[in-house]
Every structure is written in structure tokens, then in C-alpha cells.
């Protein structure tokens, strides 16, 4: 298996330490284009597409392997091994945040810091836990995707993105959704929204930054608080950015917060 081809890995930058960026559901590495230039003088930037997304090798997609987030965590570890990376700083947006957590739990010596943007260990409300969705809502959404994926993308992308005053951002996200194979997207969504990694968070030893957006329907503020309290060595920053994709909607604030964390 050619790992570089499988995950469409791209590297650039003048630094030695790796700053590795993982994208969220329905997206690809292009979603980091406003953020990475700020760090390429100091770090080795590592971009990749999850299998099934972007320009990854679609033939490598296996529903059994990617039937849980652990399959994606295995890919992250394999990429680090293939590239001979050490002391990795992993930046994970949305579902990639939990993939980064799982990776660091399995190989704690490989990662120096984790940066989690809009993380959620569980999207479904459960007794005293607020995940943001009732189980029936998630199942209804998955059925909507099965019935008419393009219409789902056009409907939900602007809600996920937020920032209604910047409609082009919602349109870009919808287009990104539509560029993903519908069958793979539906399976990935099922794995993402039905996952529950709450019990994994206390196992994490890596120093972690949690970046919490305002008015985020995917990962509401209660989730950010939960993640912060569950991860012992963590810092929570409440962002002024709204919606779920500050890497697109508020790149300057995103850069500033990451940079502050890295300078400590």
C-alpha cells in the first residue's frame, strides 16, 4: 500500500517539527489553505485527505476498516511512520479531532501537542450529556442523506458553516460535500455521528488545546466544556468565530489562537 498516494499527502514548509492537519467530514485538505501559510516558515506542514475524501485513493476505502474512527486513527499513525515523523503537533477539525485523540492514546510518544477545533466525542444527547442531537434527529439526517444526498448537502452545509452573512462559505462547503462519493459520505456520516468516544478522553496524556466556536450546531459549547473537563492536560479557548468551520470563516483568529498555544 502506497500511503502517500492513499491519503494524497502533501508536505511543505521550512521547519523541522511536523504540524499535521486533519480535515472534517465531507471536506479535504484544501480547507486549511487560509491557515497553513502562517506556519510554513517555522514548521513542516503535513496535509492529507482521509480515505474517501478529496484526492485520496478511493479504491482503498474499506467499509469494515472505516467502520469506526479507529480505522482513520490507524491511517494517521501509518502516515507518521511512513514520513518518519516525531514530536508531531496534530491539528484536527471536527471528527478529525477525535481521530487525533485516538491516535495519541495509541502512540503517546509520537505526539507533542493536540489542537482540537470543534471536537465532539459524542453527538447524541444522553441523560446528563448534551451532544447537540437526539438520536432520532441523527437517524433522520442519515435517512435524508440516503434519499437525496445533493439536497441534503445544499440544505445542511449553510447550517453547519453558520455565518449567513457570508453565503459563499456555505456554498463552498456544500460543493465539497457533493464532491465526495455519496455512498462513502453516508457511511462516514454514520460512523461519525453514531460514534461515542467519551470513555477515551480521560486516557489522553498529550497536552491539548480545545477551540470552541460560538453558535456551533455540530459541537455546542456544552461539548467543549465536557471535552475540557475530561482531558486532564487541556486548555479551552472560546472563540469569537461562529459556526463549525473557523478555518474558513475566521482564519486570522484561528491562526492567532493556534500560534499562542504553540509558543507556550
**Which sequence positions are flagged as catalytic?**
94, 216, 244
For residue 239, the surrounding DSSP H or E stretch is strand 234-242
DSSP state of 133: B
- Identify the three-state secondary structure at position 117: strand
Question: CA-CA distance, 183 to 204, in Å (whole number)?
Answer: 32
> CA 181, 141, 244: angle at the middle one, nearest 5?
80
- 177 near 94, Cβ under 8 Å? no
Is 133 in contact with 125 (CB distance < 8 Å)?
Answer: yes
Cell of 245: 468551520
Amino acid at each position: 500500500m502506497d500511503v502517500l498516494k492513499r491519503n494524497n499527502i502533501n508536505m511543505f514548509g521550512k521547519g523541522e517539527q511536523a504540524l499535521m492537519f486533519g480535515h472534517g467530514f465531507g471536506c479535504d485538505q484544501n480547507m486549511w489553505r487560509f491557515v497553513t501559510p502562517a506556519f510554513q516558515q517555522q514548521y513542516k506542514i503535513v496535509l492529507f485527505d482521509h480515505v474517501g475524501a478529496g484526492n485520496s485513493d478511493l479504491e482503498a476505502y474499506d467499509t469494515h476498516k472505516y467502520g469506526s474512527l479507529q480505522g482513520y486513527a490507524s491511517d494517521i499513525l501509518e502516515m507518521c511512520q511512513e514520513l518518519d515523523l516525531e514530536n508531531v503537533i496534530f491539528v484536527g477539525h471536527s471528527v478529525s479531532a477525535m481521530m487525533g485523540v485516538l491516535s495519541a492514546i495509541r502512540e503517546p510518544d509520537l505526539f507533542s501537542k493536540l489542537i482540537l477545533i470543534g471536537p465532539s466525542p459524542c453527538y447524541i444527547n444522553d441523560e446528563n450529556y448534551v451532544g447537540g442531537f437526539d438520536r432520532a434527529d441523527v437517524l433522520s439526517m442519515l435517512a435524508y442523506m440516503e434519499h437525496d444526498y445533493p439536497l441534503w448537502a445544499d440544505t445542511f452545509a449553510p447550517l453547519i458553516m453558520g455565518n449567513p452573512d457570508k453565503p459563499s462559505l456555505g456554498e463552498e462547503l456544500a460543493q465539497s460535500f457533493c464532491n465526495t462519493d455519496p455512498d462513502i459520505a453516508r457511511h462516514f456520516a454514520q460512523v461519525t455521528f453514531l460514534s461515542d468516544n467519551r470513555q477515551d478522553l480521560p486516557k489522553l496524556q498529550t497536552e491539548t488545546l480545545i477551540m470552541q466556536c460560538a453558535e456551533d450546531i455540530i459541537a455546542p459549547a456544552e461539548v467543549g466544556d465536557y471535552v475540557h473537563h475530561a482531558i486532564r492536560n487541556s486548555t479551552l479557548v472560546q472563540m469569537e468565530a461562529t459556526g463549525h468551520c473557523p478555518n474558513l470563516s475566521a482564519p486570522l483568529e484561528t491562526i492567532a489562537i493556534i500560534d499562542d498555544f504553540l509558543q507556550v
